[in-house]
Amino acid sequence: MTVTPGLDAEPRRIIHGGGRLWLAASNCQGKLRGHRLSGLKSALVFLFQSIIVGLAVAFIVVLLRPDLMPGVTAPLQPASFADAVDQSSASVANIYTKRLVQDQVSGTERTRFRVETSFASAVIIDPEGYLVTNYHVVATAAEIRVQLSDGRITEPETVGVDAETDLALLKIDLGTLPAIQLGRSDTLRIGDVVLAIGNPYGLTTSVTQGIVSATGRGLLNLVTFENFIQTDAAINAGNSGGALVNSLGELVGINTAVLAQDIGTEGIGFAIPVDLVRGVVDQIKQNGRVVRGYMGLLPDDLTNSERASMGIETGNGILLTQVYEGGPAATAGLRAGDVILELNGEAVYSQRQALLISASTRPGDTVEVAGMRDGERFTATVTAVERPEDPR
């Protein structure tokens, strides 16, 4: 059969045309696959680089600050209060005093005097040069010298004293000084760590460590207004007037006394709480002395059996053993034998508490008294006057 050339060529073109279209589609798909492979390769490279950078950063963090990584703890460090000492020790100064002491020569009437030198401490509480120490440190001293932690020595001015709390405020002029940070003593808890810093036996900037053994200690017959912090941090001769600081290096007390070192007695020292120090210092700065209220009464503690016999069901109450004639309490109608239950709405449990409340008033302040007399409750209003220098 003869095939016409025209008819024979047309299918060939169609076939070739279909082949060309198929080849073009195949080339497009190949290029698309290549682009996809190229993108996947770039993504893998980026991901790999990110992993490498992340591992490098993590390695540096672990190397420099392992404590920031979860589940990783820093190497154990020995327990230390060095930071607290660094913060506070520069604020503790040394005190050197001289006094004339009279000696009686045995067998003769001849009187001799000798110079007695003693060591003590003081705390810088104001960068302008104010220092706090104990009253008994500077009382009767013929000469007082202050030595700072940097070695500078000067003679201070006595701004004022308060014998009834055993505090004294001194002032020196040596430029701006490193004042200690004042803490709070009302938040102290038994068991809190404290450090005593001072000048025991002339050993400058000595530090001892202990805990708060008790707060609100009184009835020691050391001063009129007793509200001591008790501590087992070693306090020796020369520590008087030094700093009792907490673990942050903040002042919480002024070291004052230690219980007599009898056989078997140790680790019982006392410090004046900083909250009391703050009030006394402010008054001395303003007035040159401490102005306190006075009610003209002498209280005593009651035992639980005495309270029960008087029909007092609560644990509060103190007994007035004396009401001074012509004083504010007598003017208000109080009598010896009265039982005081509350002062200004505050339940009273001890004579120390009553004295502190009375001393916290100012002349002219009124004190609302709630008490019992002959089994009957009564109230009275006492107007405080200024506490005399020699109260009865």
Catalogue the active-site residues: 136, 166, 240
Q: How far apart are CA 59 and CA 76, in angstroms?
A: 20
Tell me the HSE value of 384 on the side-chain side, using a 13 A CA sphere.
23
Q: Which string of b and e fits 186-213 if b means at least 16 CB within 10 Å?
A: eebeeebebbbbbbbeeebbbbbbbebb
Q: How far apart are CA 215 and CA 272, in angstroms?
A: 10
Is 183 in contact with 251 (CB distance < 8 Å)?
yes
The dihedral through the CA atoms of 259, 263, 265, 269 has a sign that is positive
Return phi, psi of residue 192, to 5°. Answer: -65, 140
Structure tokens belonging to residue 259: 């219980």
Q: Largest alpha-carbon pair distance within the chain?
A: 173
